Chain A
Amino acid sequence: MGIFSDIFTIARWEVKKSFSAMGRNVLPLAIILFILLILATGFVARSGMHLQDGMYTLATDDRDLGDIFSADGRFTVYFADPATILSERGAFDLVIVNRTVLAPLTDRGRSAAKTLSRDYSQYVASVYNREPDLFAAYPLWIDLQYVQSELDFQATQGGQYISVRQRSAAPPVPSQPVVQVTPPSTAIPYTADELRKNLQQDVGKNDQLARYTNLFTQLPSYENFKTPSQLSPSLPFDSIIFVFVFIFPLYFTSQFFMMSVMNERIGRKGEILLSSPMHPLVIIAGKMLPYLAGMLVTSTVVILTAKASLLILLPLVPVILFFLASALLIGMLSRSFKELSFISIFFSTVATSYLFFPSIFANVHVVSLVSPLTLIILQLQGTGFSASDYLYSTSLFYLTSGVLLYIGVVNFNAERLFDLRPFIPRLREFVGSAMSRAHPYRSLFIANLLLIPFIFMLQMMALVVLFNLPMPLSLVLLIVAAAFVEELAKSVGVYSLFAAEFPTLPIRTLVLACAATAIGFLVGEKLFLVAMLSQITESVFGSILFLQQDLLLLWMPLLLHFTGVLIVTLSIRFGGRRWYFPGVIAATVVHSLYNLHFILGAMR
């Protein structure tokens, strides 16, 4: 019980301190700003976004059409008679004469034509969905049915693209026995009024204005019952914006925590706290508690105002922990306010995009589950998520925040906190003291095991960034980047642990350390992949198959990881610290060649 009362004491101090520093001056202005924020949001909702106004020029001879299209601010519409328009055609991005659209064959012309045709289908939809006889205006409805297929497990595991391309002209014959199905019934599951409401809401959705105001209304949406024009998968736009409403308060609160940690270090203010008999873990937990509580309360308030399900809190918890753990380390590491700002902005951008980008594909692909935010979107959409979905998308966050917190706790002492040396050596020391000198091999094994989730995150980011490049280049660069990340990560443990004594290190210790690293890395990698893949395919057979197949080939990647880290350590051992980077590069080259060989082999 003593520990808990200590934690509460520190939490109380923390609250008192931050309120006395901030409260009196900041609160009034913060309230004013908050009111202004609501007013500004209302203003934007009313007047719309005017970022792309006047991007395109459009000339037409038809008043009606001109009025329809000038509702879109992107077009500046000019009226003239057909002869004038056609002689001045080059001066406009688009021309509509005799109800025919003419666009120049430039990027800009094509883009303008595309925007115009989207506006036009909006207009058509708005005319048709007012029709008294809905099924005359919308005579065709498509019922989407999904079929489970488990045959493609091995191909997806190898990251290959499966296509159904049949050369023969004859219809395919199934190899399995055919199960007789009854044809679907022709009765419509919804009434005409329900469908009309849905159609009208859909038109409103693409309207910039309604996009933001409809956030909290929850009209039924018919996921699987659509008109042809609704057939492309729906972008969960509203939910994505809504997700930002959750992330922003978390971001701000973690900034406060970061600053509170930093403040302890300015002028050695935290020395009193450190000299108390309390364990660093207790101090950190106490300091963190108010912010954790604050984040949970804010999120709950947001959920309740949105009348959403409180289940959304579940995927937010690991995100909150991750933000707090990173804030702790950033606050402990930065030397100055400038550095704190830049590192924290950088971190939050990277973290937000990591959380954000997969969730956009929430309705398209299972991979979107890498981000806990996807669970929130699914919950908001009413689809919900299962316990295994939860495990899959949050385990990375729980693991990484656990590791980060551990590093923070181990280094929470005077020597590390009041050190003003540059960022990188300090980071190395932080990692170094998180490992046990007495059991170097065991700690190397565990360290590399725990590095895997971070590596996975980094490789996902590399995938994101390199995705843009043309095909063979992006593949090669991705292989190189992935190899570099892995080699760098493997070397971090050994390098931090033995930093000081490298020149005198016995070769035997070095080799054993490399072996421990390689084994830890491999075990972590395989455990992780099995967990991820069995989730993606949802097939137990698949994961067993994968594991067995791989056990036979296990020595190959093990040898590869061992060689890689050995190259790096040997180059530091004999070349000194200056050879660290060249060593990593050399290991990357070896690693990439190995991967290239196997991928090219698989392609052939």
Chain B
Amino acid sequence: MNGRNVWIVARKELRGINYEKTIVFAILLQLFVAMFSSFLMVGLTSMYDPSSVSQYARFRYSIAYAGNDSSLLDRLQDSDDFTVFEMDLSPALESLKERKLAAVIFVPATDPGGTDPVQVTLYTVQNDLQATVVGVKLKDVFLGFENDLRDARAQRITEQPVAVDFPPAARTEGFYEFVFGLLIPLLVFMPAIISASLIIDLITEEYQHETLETLVSTPITFAEMVWGKILACEILVPAQAGAWLVLLALNGIRIANPVPVLVLVTVASLILILLSALTALHYRERTAAQFIYSTALVVVILLVVAIPGNPLNLIVRASVGNAGMETWGAILLVSAVAALLGYVTHLYARRVGRLAQGGI
């Protein structure tokens, strides 16, 4: 096998990718996924836990308290989030409809220490973001009230959980776990998945556009051509993943060990690329190859994620700085698998090449 020939093919493919501007779509896609998943995260936390957005934190909501006295009333009056008015239920509900109140709470005359549960009714405005905000803020007060009631009924509880003291929760929660636990492995592995799909197109195109005969008649062997294409796809992976790490660093998200992360991604992506190259060589037709590749990809990802200490998990641990020498051990193991697959691909490509020269 001639290295120069491989490089010629790789350069030709990279030029083609550059000419068609397809890579622009790929990068746009990744950017979109990144922004989108961060949107989801920010959106989810602010919708489902609105107090995490500081904008909502400073409001003091007016609420009405109706019904019987309880320790809930004291707790509400002590809270910084609410102004409480003791009102009758009917005018309170009318005020709620007119949006002069954010919520109305009705407490029945149930005995706090009795056998019946205390059933509090909480009225809010339907389909309103504010109802969510108030509900989440009220949750803390209700939890306190629940503890009061539990204390009153303590002798009937057979097993108490181990008590643990937590530091007071921070006002705003960062997105540390999302960024390091999901976004980074996702971004870093996206180029690998894209490259693996690209190699199928590059190989099947030669078959379906019937350009193979021309290629085989040049001094470049079939195996060299396949390796050139694999090289072109492989180069794109660390380039894009590295760009992501730089972009994240510019945004103030620093990865603890960028080198093992990049090496691991590069080697693991080689496995994906080789697998899909084999699929493409076998089917020689895009629809079939892409279908098998995408289904197999789902299976592989599911299996990989289910194994403790998988490459994706190692990327997470390496990027937070909780990984030691086992990362390099995993890199060695993954490289061995990649080498084995590479050998199989080489044999298969040589066989296909011989058959092609034999006049097929």
Contact = CB atoms under 8 A, between A and B. Distances in A.
A binds B: yes
B89 to A, nearest CB: 6
Contact of A231 (B117, B135, B163, B181): B135
A340 interface: yes
B205 A337 contact: yes
A50 B97 contact: no
B164 A99 contact: yes
A345 B194 contact: yes
Interface string B61-100: 1101011000000000000000101110111011111111
Interface of B: 16-17, 20-23, 25-26, 28-29, 32-33, 35-36, 38-40, 42-44, 47-49, 55, 59-62, 64, 66-67, 83, 85-87, 89-91, 93-102, 106, 108-110, 112, 115-132, 135-136, 138-139, 142-143, 145-146, 149-150, 152-154, 156-167, 169-170, 173-174, 176-177, 180-182, 185, 194, 197-198, 200-202, 204-205, 208-210, 283, 285-288, 290-292, 294-296, 298-299, 302-303, 305-310, 312-313, 316-317, 320, 322-323
A102 interface: yes
A466 to B, nearest CB: 9
B306 A47 contact: yes
A30 B174 contact: no
Contacts of A357: 36, 39-40, 43
Contact of B150 (A43, A139, A149, A164): A139
A423 to B, nearest CB: 8
A154 interface: no
A379 to B, nearest CB: 18
17 contacts: A18-B287, A37-B299, A55-B177, A144-B122, A144-B124, A144-B135, A148-B125, A176-B97, A188-B119, A231-B139, A232-B135, A337-B201, A338-B17, A338-B201, A339-B20, A341-B198, A349-B32
Which among B116, B161, B323 has the highest number of chain A CB atoms within 10 Å?
B161
Interface in A48-62: 48-57, 62
B130 A163 contact: yes
Contacts of A556: none
Contact of B97 (A120, A141, A147): A147
Given A111-B177, A131-B157, A468-B38, A40 B299 contact: yes
A290 to B, nearest CB: 14
B312 to A, nearest CB: 6
A164 B100 contact: yes
Interface residues of A, number: 136
Interface stretch (A179-187, A197-205, A500-508): A179-187
Nearest to A38: B299
A477 to B, nearest CB: 13
Contact of B90 (A131, A180, A365): A180
A115 interface: yes
A22 B283 CA distance: 9
A147 B164 contact: no
Interface in A106-132: 107-108, 110-111, 113-117, 120, 123-124, 127-128, 130-132
4 closest Cβ contacts across the A-B interface? A228-B142, A337-B201, A139-B149, A172-B100
B68 to A, nearest CB: 10
A128 B161 contact: yes
B299 A25 contact: no
A259 interface: yes
Given A100-B165, A137-B150, A141-B119, A146 B125 contact: yes
A244 B313 CA distance: 24
Contacts of A76: 322
B188 to A, nearest CB: 13
A88 to B, nearest CB: 16
A217 interface: no
B93 A181 contact: yes
B302 A40 contact: yes
Contacts of B285: 21-22
Contacts of B197: 341, 345
A178 B64 CA distance: 15
Nearest to B72: A140
A99 B165 contact: yes
B122 A349 contact: no
A139 B161 contact: no
A465 B157 contact: no
A364 B48 contact: yes
B194 A227 contact: no
Contact of B120 (A44, A143, A350): A143
Contacts of A47: 306-308
B297 to A, nearest CB: 10
Contact of B22 (A18, A21, A166, A339): A339
A232 B173 contact: no
Given A30-B295, A44-B306, A468-B42, A57 B322 contact: yes
B309 A53 contact: yes
A99 B20 CA distance: 62
A43 B125 contact: no
B159 A231 contact: no
B288 A186 contact: no
B198 A338 contact: yes
B290 A341 contact: yes
B287 A21 contact: yes
Interface in A139-170: 139-149, 151-152, 162-166, 169
A25 B174 contact: no
Contact of B126 (A148, A232, A256): A148
B92 to A, nearest CB: 8
A48 B306 contact: yes
Contacts of B119: 141-143, 184, 186, 188
B122 A145 contact: yes
Nearest to A106: B176
Given A181-B89, A338-B201, A147 B124 contact: yes
Contacts of B161: 123-124, 127-128
A152 B47 CA distance: 20
A143 B290 CA distance: 52
A34 interface: yes
A28 to B, nearest CB: 11
A26 B160 CA distance: 59
Nearest to A166: B62
Given A101-B167, A231-B136, A341 B201 contact: yes
Contacts of B163: 99
Given A33-B292, A51-B305, A231-B142, A146 B165 contact: no
A538 B41 CA distance: 30
Contact of B166 (A18, A113, A174): A113
Which among A186, A228, A357 has the highest number of chain B CB atoms within 10 Å?
A228
A465 B42 CA distance: 11
A124 B36 CA distance: 34
A213 B347 CA distance: 42
B146 A140 contact: yes
Nearest to A176: B94
Contacts of A21: 285, 287-288
A335 interface: yes
A1 B298 CA distance: 44
Contact of A40 (B150, B158, B185, B303): B303
A233 B98 contact: no
B130 A162 contact: yes
B232 to A, nearest CB: 11
A25 B174 CA distance: 50
B28 to A, nearest CB: 7
A174 B91 contact: yes
